[in-house]
Amino acid sequence: MWLSNRHGLLGIFFAFGIGVTPLAAAVQAEGQPAEKPAAQNTCLVCHSHLGGQLASPTGPFPTDVHAEKGLTCASCHGGDPTSMDIRVAMNPARGFRGRPSRQEIPAFCGRCHSNADYMHRFNPTAKTDQVAQYNTSVHGKRLREGDRRVAVCINCHSVHDIKMVNDPTSPVYPTNVPDTCGKCHSDREYMQGYNLPNLSQVEDYQNSVHYRALTVEGNLAAPTCQSCHGSHGATPPGVTSVADVCGTCHAHNRDLFEKSPHRDAFASLGAPGCVQCHSNHAIQPAGEHMLVGPGSICLTCHAPDDNGGQRAQEMAASIQKLDSTIQQTRDTLEQAERAGVDMSLAMSELTNAHSRLVMARTTVHSLDSTKVAAETTGGLRIASEIAEEGKQKLAELRRFREGLALSTVFILGVVLTLYFYIRQNGYLRKEPGGETDE
Ligand code: HEC
Ligand code: HEC
Ligand code: HEC
Ligand code: HEC
Ligand code: HEC
Ligand code: HEC
Ligand code: HEC
Ligand code: HEC
Ligand code: HEC
């Protein structure tokens, strides 16, 4: 193959290059992004004719975000993109940077992405903290210690095929993130030798209520890996520990937990708060099964007859009562609707009782069963008023129908009586040509 002979190849390019190279091409100052990308891109032209690794960047590059923003190969790699002479085009004296090592990649990308003046010319609100944040993460710290297996920019964003982060085909689009992290974190062989409790983070997360909300319900407010871990930093902005991240979305639960006796009790046990009861990755739908019964998490620390165990039972009982009352009420309303009574107003009022139920479940985090009961009692009152209304409407309907049936029977009776009376008294007209009594 003609490409296999590097020296021969270079000779060909050299010969070709001599004729076309404008030697006056601007040399980029080392360390500074180019002011303006060159109109020509000899890098792309020549590389697209090469084989294997050397050509592979050129295929996807036209739809890479950098190409779409008008940047070229030379914007990242430097060199002279107006020359077809390989010795000019790829001359380190013209700022050419070949393939960066893994250790060099954050700074390679950061040359632009940490430069606010430069980035804001493209997008006035572009963030420029990625490298600084990355340096605080376990990935960034281990990389500086010489670990080449941790994630660098291109493991999460790809290279030569980088997309805007809000593009659904981007590897960091929320629904794609688990697979992107999983390329390493689910690979037993790759992660061998690290002191991690398990490698099931991705699998566990994909089993969670959060993943279902994100993928099945399309709820982009549900967290994926980086919502809890931060995209670049050790934690998301404003959160000091990953274990505290839940409260950024579930603020009410956090406030109640913070005011409950558990805050200090858990701290002295070294227990991590929310995660102690809900786990971190495989979070399941919550319910009374967490309070009482064989799956009770309260009973992992409390005895059934101590204060904690007792409160758990009381809270579960009052929540379950409201839950089943709401269910029965809904059944009554549906029955009435099937019978033809318009119950839409009552149905929408029932959502107020349901809000109380949701609030009661949140209030569990106060550990105060009287506060939970205050919510459930309020809900029960609303639900029973609505149920009463539904029953009344049904009863009215029944009475109306009974009345209707009675009057129908009465009218039928009158008609029949009349008919027989008329017939008996010979008032019926004889049909012409009909029977005669001979
Ligand atoms: C005339 C052909 C030609 C032109 C023009 C050209 N290259 Fe290359 N490039 C090559 C060849 C051939 C190699 C392999 C050389 C080698 O590794 O000895 C290469 C290698 C590279 C590498 C890999 C180097 C490494 O460290 O592994 C990069 C990156 C690169 N070129 C970028 C560019 C950029 C950026 C431009 C434009 C400024 C450019 N090239 C222009 C032919 C060309
Ligand atoms: C956004 C910055 C960026 C742009 C733009 C860019 N590259 Fe690269 N390129 C990189 C990085 C980072 C690597 C190192 C990839 C790796 O280690 O896997 C690289 C690696 C390469 C390599 C070595 C490939 C290998 O596997 O050995 C070649 C060749 C190359 N680039 C050519 C190009 C060409 C040609 C273009 C334009 C079509 C281009 N690059 C545009 C960042 C860029
Ligand atoms: C562990 C994976 C990972 C690594 C490593 C990583 N990123 Fe990101 N990056 C993400 C995720 C996830 C997002 C999306 C954030 C979002 O949706 O809000 C993102 C977003 C971005 C954005 C869009 C603006 C922003 O900050 O949200 C840029 C630019 C970016 N990354 C550049 C980089 C650079 C440069 C590096 C290397 C220093 C890097 N990333 C390393 C995962 C990563
Ligand atoms: C020559 C300067 C330059 C270099 C080097 C560079 N980028 Fe960019 N990058 C940009 C510009 C400009 C944009 C467009 C920003 C915008 O419009 O918001 C961009 C956009 C991005 C985006 C999309 C951001 C978003 O808001 O969705 C990602 C991701 C990204 N770059 C990652 C990288 C990675 C990874 C590297 C290193 C391999 C890198 N960039 C190297 C200039 C550069
Ligand atoms: C290129 C492979 C790779 C990719 C991709 C990757 N990681 Fe990592 N990650 C590692 C390695 C290796 C470690 C080091 C483990 C250690 O030292 O404990 C690590 C460490 C971590 C840690 C710290 C674990 C601890 O407590 O020590 C977290 C958290 C983490 N990664 C999250 C993520 C997330 C979230 C993503 C996706 C957005 C991701 N990683 C993508 C390889 C990767
Ligand atoms: C709802 C928040 C949340 C989501 C989503 C999440 N994590 Fe975690 N993750 C945590 C918490 C909390 C910890 C425990 C941190 C601690 O103890 O400091 C943790 C720990 C880890 C660790 C360290 C090892 C371990 O299991 O303790 C890794 C690695 C990790 N997560 C990767 C991921 C990856 C990959 C994803 C996406 C598939 C992900 N996480 C999604 C909250 C989350
Ligand atoms: C980025 C925001 C966000 C973060 C961070 C977050 N969650 Fe969620 N969580 C949600 C959303 C959205 C839902 C889905 C709500 C729904 O559909 O009912 C949800 C659902 C839940 C549910 C199920 C609720 C139910 O009705 O059964 C529990 C339990 C839960 N999260 C606990 C946690 C815990 C524990 C953490 C921290 C480890 C956490 N969440 C972190 C947004 C978040
Ligand atoms: C002591 C154990 C425990 C701790 C600690 C705990 N929870 Fe809960 N959580 C529960 C129980 C039990 C339920 C179910 C209540 C029910 O439905 O009857 C629940 C329900 C939930 C729900 C669904 C109900 C709702 O409010 O929408 C969410 C969300 C939630 N917890 C988030 C959190 C967050 C965030 C934290 C940390 C601030 C946390 N939990 C701490 C035990 C706990
Ligand atoms: C990780 C262990 C642990 C779990 C799980 C746990 N608790 Fe506790 N709880 C404690 C500790 C420790 C205390 C403080 C010592 C004490 O009073 O028993 C406490 C205190 C309490 C108190 C106050 C007791 C008092 O005498 O004032 C109540 C009420 C309580 N817990 C209820 C619950 C409920 C309900 C659950 C389940 C949703 C639960 N706890 C789950 C460890 C736990």
- Integer-rounded Cα Rg, in Å, for the chain is 38
With b meaning 16 or more CB within 10 Å and e meaning fewer, what string describes 393-414? Answer: bbeeeeeeeeeeeeeeeeeeee
- Give the pLDDT score at 243: 81
Ligand 3 centroid from CA 290, angstroms: 37
Within a domain: 369: yes
Q: Which tokens is 80 given?
A: 């002279």
Within a domain: 426: no
- Give the pLDDT score at 98: 93
Within a domain: 333: yes
- Give the pLDDT score at 391: 81
Cβ proximity of 34 and 28 under 8 Å: yes
Name every protein residue with a CB atom under 6 angstroms from any ligand 2 atom.
43-44, 47, 53-54, 57-58, 61, 66, 71, 73, 75-77, 99-100, 105, 108, 154, 159-160
Within a domain: 252: no
Ligand 9: does its nearest atom lie under 6 Å from the Cβ of 298?
A: yes
Q: Which of 44, 68, 99 corresponds to the end of one domain?
A: 99
End-to-end Cα, the chain, rounded Å: 124
Please state the φ and ψ torsions of residue 58, each to the nearest 5 degrees: -75, -25
Neighbouring residues of 295: CB distance < 8 A, sequence distance ≥ 6: 289
Ligand 1 centroid from CA 144, angstroms: 28
Q: In terms of Cα–Cα distance, which of 112, 99, 113, 191 is closest to 151?
A: 191
Ligand 6 centroid from CA 81, angstroms: 44
Q: Which tokens is 166 given?
A: 């809000």
Q: What is the CATH number of the domain that holds 349?
A: 1.20.1270
d(CA 348, CA 149): 56
Count of all residues that appear for the chain in the document = 438
- Give the pLDDT score at 32: 55
Q: Which of 99, 120, 155 corresponds to the end of one domain?
A: 99
Within a domain: 50: yes
d(CA 199, CA 193): 12
Within a domain: 328: yes
Ligand 5: does its nearest atom lie under 6 Å from the Cβ of 229?
A: yes
Cβ proximity of 178 and 224 under 8 Å: yes
Q: Report which protein residue has its CA nearest ligand 1's atom 16.
A: 6
Q: In terms of Cα–Cα distance, which of 75, 195, 209 is closest to 147?
A: 195
DSSP category for residue 343: -
Within a domain: 378: yes
pLDDT tens for the chain, 438 residues: list them.
333 344 444 444 443 433 333 333 333 344 455 555 556 789 999 999 998 999 999 999 999 999 999 999 999 999 999 999 999 999 999 999 999 999 999 999 999 999 999 999 999 999 999 999 999 999 999 999 999 999 999 999 999 999 999 999 999 999 999 999 999 999 999 999 998 988 999 999 999 999 999 999 999 999 999 999 999 988 887 787 888 899 999 999 999 999 999 999 999 999 989 999 999 999 999 999 999 999 999 999 999 999 999 999 999 999 999 999 999 999 988 988 888 888 888 899 999 999 999 999 999 999 999 999 999 999 999 999 998 887 888 888 888 888 888 899 999 999 999 988 888 887 666 555 545 444
d(CA 69, CA 61): 12
How many structural domains compose the chain? 2
Cβ proximity of 33 and 111 under 8 Å: yes
Q: Report which protein residue has its CA nearest ligand 2's atom 29.
A: 54
Cβ proximity of 381 and 369 under 8 Å: no
Q: Dihedral sign, CA of 17, 19, 23, 26?
A: negative
Ligand 6 centroid from CA 183, angstroms: 15
Ligand 6 centroid from CA 176, angstroms: 16
Tell me the residue range of the domain where 384 lies.
307-397
Within a domain: 85: yes
Q: Which of 60, 80, 99 corresponds to the end of one domain?
A: 99
